[in-house]
Amino acid sequence: MAEVETQHHSKPTTQVSPQPPAPIPLATMAAKDSPSKPSWFTPKRLLAMFCVINLLNYIDRGAIASNGVNGSLGICDEKGICTSGSGIQGDFKLNNFQDGVLSSAFMVGLLVASPIFASMAKSHNPFRLIGVGLSVWTFATAACGCSFNFWTIAICRMLVGVGEASFISLAAPFIDDNAPVSQKTAWLAVFYMCIPTGVALGYVYGGVVGSHFNWRYAFWAEAILMLPFAIMGFVMKPLQLKGFAHVESKQALISVETAASATEEVPSTNGNEAIHSQASSKSDKSKIGSSIMNQLSRFLNDMKVLLADPVYVINVLGYILYNFVIGAYSYWGPKAGYNIYHMNNADMMFGGVTVIGGIVGTLGGGFVLDSINATISNAFKLLSGAVFVGGIFCLTSFCLKSLYGFLALFLVGQILVFATQAPVNYVCLHCVKPSLRPLSIAMSTVSIHIFGDVPSAPLVGVFEDHVNNWRLTAIVLTSIFFLAAVMWFLGIFLNSKDLFDEVEEELSPNTKANMKPLLGGETRDETPPV
């Protein structure tokens, strides 16, 4: 009795501790990580939706480069008769360098946001992240139409890059997951076909809107067209990516860990409530700081894996050189064509060649790689060969004086160089583990922009300001294609392995570490009680 009374006095408030949770079978956890597809989903419907979004994104890129939207500065002839400027360049009185910066401003947002969205995909549903990005894109594009000087439109273009970041890094892995095995590269080709097609349609769209209305209406219309897709990203039941845990299973694990931690808590007396409240507040702050550090540590570890992979590095280096040329073509192409060959409607003609070359080349590259067996080594063979031969045709076309000769050779060259779009991204997706695919695509996208088309547009503008010869500028620019071909040729000889089907746990290291004791039926604290 005395012993019982002693125990009673030592614990004035008696509570029945909750029973520890039962061990969760691994098979049950795996079942939860493999949810059924939502009712709206079919693979072809998903591909079509992503293609329309990608098309709108690149129509915006083409529109801001078109003569109708981009415009030109006012000029004065020898008699002193001056004509007013047009478009963005004319309204804001931009020089060629500032004009080139506008085409690259989106990269600031893309550079910052792409790694963030790719990393967040491990803790948030990737489909919802796309909805967030498209909402930012819609707002920023509409704001471009309301800009009133160089800096306001430059800031809006930066925000466009933030919105683009989520979609660019996450859409390709979704397509790769749901495409038929024998047609993976072809499906990627259909998706990436929207890049040249969108840019070309942007030239035409910008030319029509700019000449008949005002350049501001081009941006407002784009925002209206994208708005339904931004809303769909939030209201539709989301899909899951291979290599990532299902969001419901993550929540279940959190609730299990919360219940388990409750068994370890000792009820406090009223006198100690303030102390426990302060300790709890400090603990919450510590958890937030720890979570941020864990995210950063995981991102740095993933980056080390990518940079240590020679296949990935060689592929991206070739892609950077390639995109340096393509980026300058897309921005300065209409102006170069107008000045060299005096095209009556440079937007329409250059856009027409680009859209035909882009569609035929991108689709052709995807189907060819599938037909010869889609492997990383074969992808490098196709990349190096297509760019080398395509570069010869493009270089020769700028040496001709005939407009029709230029259009014929340049079209063939465009078909060949655009055949790279699906193979280069196939390598990015399949040379890494499934859980690294969003980061692989994100960092590839960031790299080709920050080292490729971002510096190329202003640098080509500076070069042209110096030499004042668009033909020479185009020839020097096109010669960089051969450096890209050499880089991809080196990739053929690397020891490459397709990691798409490599088995890996879908849970983060921290989650798996917390799960192991529960699955094993053990307690978290293995130290014997005192």
Q: What is the mean pLDDT of residues 356-378?
A: 91
Interval 253-305: pLDDT, tens: 444 444 444 444 444 445 555 555 565 556 666 667 776 777 778 888 888 99
Cβ proximity of 339 and 469 under 8 Å: no
Structure tokens at 526: 């293995």
- Helix, strand, coil % (nearest 5) of the chain? 75, 0, 25
CB atoms closer than 10 angstroms to residue 349:
18
The whole-model pTM stands at 0.72
Q: What is the mean pLDDT of residues 230-244?
A: 76
CA–CA gap between residue 20 and residue 328 (Å, rounded): 63
pLDDT band at 311 (very low <50, low <70, confident <90, very high): very high
Interval 456-505: pLDDT, tens: 888 998 998 899 898 999 999 999 999 999 999 999 999 888 887 765 54
| Portion of the chain with pLDDT greater than 70, in percent | 73
Give the model's pLDDT for residue 74: 62
CB atoms closer than 10 angstroms to residue 517:
15
- Averaged confidence pLDDT in the chain: 77
Give the model's pLDDT for residue 527: 39
More confident: 444 or 284: 444
Domains of the chain: 42-68+88-241 (1.20.1250.20), 307-502 (1.20.1250.20)
Residue 168 has pLDDT above 90, yes or no: no
Q: What is the mean pLDDT of residues 196-225?
A: 86
pLDDT band at 518 (very low <50, low <70, confident <90, very high): very low
**Burial status of residue 198 (CB atoms within 10 A of its CB: 0-12, 13-18, 19 or more):** buried
Give the model's pLDDT for residue 75: 66
More confident: 341 or 222: 222
Interval 15-72: pLDDT, tens: 444 454 444 443 344 334 444 565 566 888 888 999 999 999 989 988 887 767 776 6
Give the model's pLDDT for residue 396: 94
